[in-house]
Amino acid sequence: MAHLDDLTEFLSIPSVSAEPKHAADVDRCADYLVGKLSSLGFSAKKYKTDIHPIVVAHSPRVEGKPTVLIYGHYDVMPIDPIAAWQSPPFEPTVREGRIYARGASDDKGEIMAHILGAQELIEEQGSLPLNVTYLFEGEEERGSYSLQEFLKRPEAQKELACDIIVVSDTGMAAPDVPSFSYGLKGVCCFELEIFGPKMDLHSGIFGGAVANPITTLCEMLATTHDENGRITVEGFYDGVSEIADWEKESWKRVPGMSDAELADLTGVPALRTEKGYTGAECVYARPTFEPNGIVGGYVGEGSKTVIPTHAVAKISCRLVPGQDPVDIMRKVEAHFKKVCPPSVRMKFTMQHAGDAYMSDPHSPFGKVAQRALEETFGNPPVLVREGGSIPVVASMSKLLGKDALFLGLDLPDARIHSPNENMRLDIFEKGIAMAKALLRLMSEVKA
């Protein structure tokens, strides 16, 4: 089917934004979008940036109708561990009603659903009933640096001027339960490196006399949470507001998000949540501190009894409204400086950061979006917050002065960021129908 051909072609391009070796692939992916949108009559343009290009496309102008800015990202996460993939991540493969490929649900599947939804409207009615601007970036998985810079330029803000922002890079609760999100987590990423001896040391000849950087790194990371799972960094929770009772109530009804269901889905023997909160509450509304990677010393075959020169941890925090990512990184750095012993040297490196965001689910466009979801999926959407982050959305909303709405298609078992990422084909088709309904219904809102 034509829809699947378009999606397969799009998914076949290995647009991994974090790895320099894929730079040309990311660029090729942007060209693909420009070509596809131009063929639909959009004026599509590829903007060069310091890293990866930004694609902006406008539908033919319709006077007196609102303008909707639809945001997505065409870059994808790295693929390792490659051995865990049942089919090659960039050779889209259909198994049991799902298409498996890196980017299938995050975020190429959604982008293609929006494009194909518009395409069907154009094929049926000759043109779109409102003004659509597509904004697709190639750096979301690495921090959206270039789009953040792009948004600061007045001419860019003029070009992206709109009445409402639609983001389709979020989750849905279950195949028959659409999700309408009104919040996103912020994020900050940083590295902590611990330096000990100037060369790898024989653990017999020097062991006991010098600090082991691995031990020290572990001891320092172990100071970040207390026995209740609360983060101990001083001031970490400043400005964090409690979860509203109506939220707690509605989140209890979100399919798949009970503690038992979360444990089953992830395969853990038991959840580990912040004391006093359910898994869903921690995912949607509590900040986190997660080492995403750690390495030090000899990790090859056999054993090598060394005290290594250094050890490093890559860490990210998910943040909630009221927390400033850079302020949080400063507080974390201060915490580590406080607990770092004199027997080692530490290096703290700030990486990318993005604000959390919350919008009003009850605005006119918000209500219309929920109706589009209900029409398409046959059920009213559940109102949730996202555990994930789209760092650039907060800036976009602030700089363009408009709300952002989140209509997601990622199912909990879509394995985004994991091996065997996939999208259900029936959800993909519904995504196309949802995109059509959204444009039709939004065209009736008074801009």
Residues noted as catalytic: 75, 140
Tokens of 152: 């600061």
Span of 149-157, 191-199, 368-376, 422-430 interacting with a copy of itself by CB under 8 A: 191-199
**Does the protein bind a copy of itself through residue 300 (CB under 8 A)?**
yes
End-to-end alpha carbon distance in the chain: 36
Could you say which residues in the range 46-105 bind a copy of itself, by CB under 8 A? 77-78, 80-81, 84
Report the residue from 30, 128, 313, 435 that binds a copy of itself according to the rule CB under 8 A. Answer: 313
What count of Cα atoms within 13 Å lies in the side-chain half-sphere of residue 436? 19
Read off φ and ψ for residue 319, nearest 5 degrees.
Answer: -120, 160
Report the residue from 142, 335, 402, 424 that binds a copy of itself according to the rule CB under 8 A. Answer: 142
Residue 237: CB minimum distance to a copy of itself, A: 13
Span of 126-134, 259-267, 430-438, 439-447 interacting with a copy of itself by CB under 8 A: 259-267
Residue 319's DSSP bridge partners are 186
Helix axes 23-39, 2-11, angle to 10 degrees: 150
Span of 118-126, 174-182, 258-266, 426-434 interacting with a copy of itself by CB under 8 A: 258-266
**Does the protein bind a copy of itself through residue 326 (CB under 8 A)?**
no
**Does the protein bind a copy of itself through residue 179 (CB under 8 A)?**
no
Report the residue from 291, 337, 367, 398 that binds a copy of itself according to the rule CB under 8 A. Answer: 291
Angle (CA) 237-242-246 rounded to 5° is 155
Which C-beta is closer to a copy of itself: that of 161 or that of 268?
A: 268
Question: Taking Cα atoms as reference points, which of 160, 156, 70 lies closest to residue 113?
Answer: 70
**Does the protein bind a copy of itself through residue 138 (CB under 8 A)?**
no
Residue 113: CB minimum distance to a copy of itself, A: 20
Report the residue from 29, 167, 254, 416 that binds a copy of itself according to the rule CB under 8 A. Answer: 416
**Does the protein bind a copy of itself through residue 417 (CB under 8 A)?**
yes
Residue 256: CB minimum distance to a copy of itself, A: 11
Report the residue from 197, 321, 354, 391 that binds a copy of itself according to the rule CB under 8 A. Answer: 197
Report the residue from 235, 276, 341, 378 that binds a copy of itself according to the rule CB under 8 A. Answer: 341
> CA-CA distance, 338 to 176, in Å (whole number)?
50
Span of 52-60, 302-310, 357-365, 431-439 interacting with a copy of itself by CB under 8 A: 302-310
Please answer whether residues 404 and 365 qualify as being in contact, where contact means their C-beta atoms are separated by less than 8 angstroms: no
**Token pair 């890196």: residue:** 102
> CA-CA distance, 337 to 2, in Å (whole number)?
57
> Looking at residue 302, what DSSP letter applies?
S
Sort strands 306-307 and 310-319 into parallel, antiparallel or unpaired: unpaired
Report the residue from 60, 97, 293, 380 that binds a copy of itself according to the rule CB under 8 A. Answer: 293
**Does the protein bind a copy of itself through residue 214 (CB under 8 A)?**
yes
Angle (CA) 131-135-136 rounded to 5° is 145
Sort strands 131-137 and 54-58 into parallel, antiparallel or unpaired: antiparallel
* Residue 93 CB neighbours (<10 A): 17
Residue 160: CB minimum distance to a copy of itself, A: 25
Q: Is 276 helix (H, G, I), strand (E, B) or coil?
A: coil
Residue 64: CB minimum distance to a copy of itself, A: 39
**Token pair 């009970």: residue:** 258
> CA-CA distance, 59 to 44, in Å (whole number)?
9
> CA-CA distance, 207 to 378, in Å (whole number)?
66
Report the residue from 66, 72, 138, 308 that binds a copy of itself according to the rule CB under 8 A. Answer: 308
Which C-beta is closer to a copy of itself: that of 110 or that of 163?
A: 110
